[in-house]
């Protein structure tokens, strides 16, 4: 019969010098077992206590603690598997050795491994989808040339939902349209609360200073008198200024309407890229 490969771990402190298992993955059928051999430090004398967090030291009943008398500078005993798959540890004074009781059949694999893994993966994906990241579709050309019609992008929902950061000038944001909160819009933040914004002669001015906007499709062909952005509101514009219904038409975006910040384009693959804030990357 082929000899089972031993798994050996060095123990660098305490009473133990070396521990070996003929297997650390035991079938969880209530009958399978592995033999444990532990080489002791010279000062180890008297019965030594051990404890299990899973499995048993006895085949017929659940025994989680034992005391073993050393013989020849070592101790030797067996660990029996439980009837359900699980992980556990063999514990002693200064000792913590991992044990893995693996599925013994297809039913156990499905019930205790695959199905729970898939369940938590789905729950995790839903949590991420609901609170952290979301996918959005660009239905129009109002953000050209930065975002094209039919682009798909991923947005960060976490930062605005939990107020981890405030919107900055240059951020491309998704928000609930103030005139119809059932509809999502996407525009670029241009002016922040307390700032004065004006559009004159094809130039956007914030607090009287012109913005450098090499990201727009073309200069706006309209003027807008100076407006001061109220607290808790944001002034947003589309990058395709002359084909965008935005704050110069319908007003400001309340902070509570913000859904997320656009992070990167993932579709089509030829356009996959990060979406950068031009005012932050310029510094």
Q: Which one is catalytic: 23, 187, 244, 247?
A: 187
pLDDT category at 178 given cuts 50, 70, 90 is very high
Residue 130 among the catalytic residues? no
Asked whether residue 115 is assigned to any structural domain, the reply reads no
* Per-position DSSP letters for the chain, written without gaps between them: -PPPPPEEEE--STTEEEEEES-SEEESSSS-EEEEEEEEPTT--S-EEEEESSSBSSSSS---EEEE--BTTEEEEEEE--SS-EEEEEEETTEEEEEEEE-SSHHHHIIIIIHHHHHHHHHHHHHIIIIIEEEEE--SSTTTTTS-TT-EEEEE-HHHHTTSS---TT-EEEEE-TT-TTSEEEEEEEE-TT-EEEEETTEEEETTEE---TTSSS--SS-EEEEEPPTTEEEEE-SSGGG--SHHHH-PEEGGGEEEEEEEEEESGGG-EE---HHHHT-
How do residues 138-157 score in pLDDT, each as one tens digit?
989 999 999 999 999 988 88
Catalytic residue, candidates 23, 33, 102, 142: 142
Co-location of 93 and 160 in the same domain: no
Residue 7 has pLDDT above 80, yes or no: no
Would residue 119 count as lying in a domain?
Answer: no
Verify that 165 and 256 share a domain, yes or no: yes
How sure is the predictor about 217, in pLDDT bands with cuts at 50, 70 and 90? very high
Statement to judge: residues 275 and 187 lie in one domain: yes
Q: What is the pLDDT of residues 53-77, one digit of tens each?
A: 999 999 889 999 999 999 888 999 9
Instruction: Decide if 110 is inside a domain.
Output: no
Looking at every residue in the chain, the average pLDDT score rounds to: 86
> Looking at residue 212, what is its pLDDT?
92
Residue 274 sits in the same domain as residue 185: yes
Q: Count of domains in the chain?
A: 2
Q: Is 135 a catalytic residue?
A: no
pLDDT in tens, 227-278: 999 999 999 999 999 999 999 999 999 999 998 899 999 999 899 999 999 9
Check whether 88 has a pLDDT greater than 70.
Answer: yes
Q: Which domain holds residue 210?
A: 133-281
Whether the per-residue pLDDT at 5 is higher than 80: the answer is no
Please tell me the pTM assigned to this model.
Answer: 0.57
pLDDT computed for residue 260 by the predictor:
87
The more confidently predicted of residues 135 and 1 is 135
For the cut 90, the answer to whether the pLDDT of residue 94 exceeds it is no
pLDDT at 282: 44
CATH number reported for the structural domain that contains residue 47 in this entry = 2.60.40.10
Among 5-14, 110-119, 127-136, the minimum mean pLDDT is found in: 5-14
**137/259 same-domain check:** yes
Band (2; pLDDT cuts 50, 70, 90): very low
Residue 131 has what pLDDT? Answer: 57
């Amino acid at each position: 019969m082929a000899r089972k490969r031993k798994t050996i771990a060095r123990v660098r402190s305490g009473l133990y010098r070396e521990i070996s298992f003929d297997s650390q993955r035991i079938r969880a059928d209530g009958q399978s077992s592995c033999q444990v051999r532990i080489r002791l430090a010279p000062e180890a004398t008297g019965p030594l206590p051990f404890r299990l967090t899973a499995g048993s030291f006895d085949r017929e009943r659940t025994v989680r603690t034992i005391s073993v008398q050393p013989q020849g500078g070592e101790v030797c005993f067996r660990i029996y598997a439980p009837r359900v798959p699980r992980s556990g540890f063999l514990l002693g004074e200064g000792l913590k050795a991992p044990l893995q009781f693996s599925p013994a059949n297809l039913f156990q694999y499905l019930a205790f491994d695959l199905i729970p893994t898939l369940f938590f993966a789905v729950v995790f994906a839903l949590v991420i989808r609901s609170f952290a990241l979301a996918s959005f579709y660009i239905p129009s050309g109002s953000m050209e040339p930065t975002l094209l019609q039919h682009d798909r992008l991923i947005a960060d929902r976490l930062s605005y939902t939990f107020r981890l950061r405030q919107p900055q000038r240059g951020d491309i944001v998704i928000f609930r349209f103030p005139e119809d909160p059932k509809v999502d819009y996407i525009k670029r933040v241009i002016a922040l609360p307390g700032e004065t914004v004006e559009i004159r002669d094809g130039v956007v001015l914030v607090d009287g200073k012109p913005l450098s906007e090499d990201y727009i499709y073309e200069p706006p062909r309209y003027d807008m008198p100076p407006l001061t952005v109220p607290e808790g509101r944001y002034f947003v514009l589309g990058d395709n200024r002359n084909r965008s219904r935005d704050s110069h038409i319908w007003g400001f975006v309340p902070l509570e309407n913000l859904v997320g910040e656009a992070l990167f384009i993932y579709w089509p693959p030829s356009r996959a890229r990060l979406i950068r804030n031009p005012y932050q990357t310029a510094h």
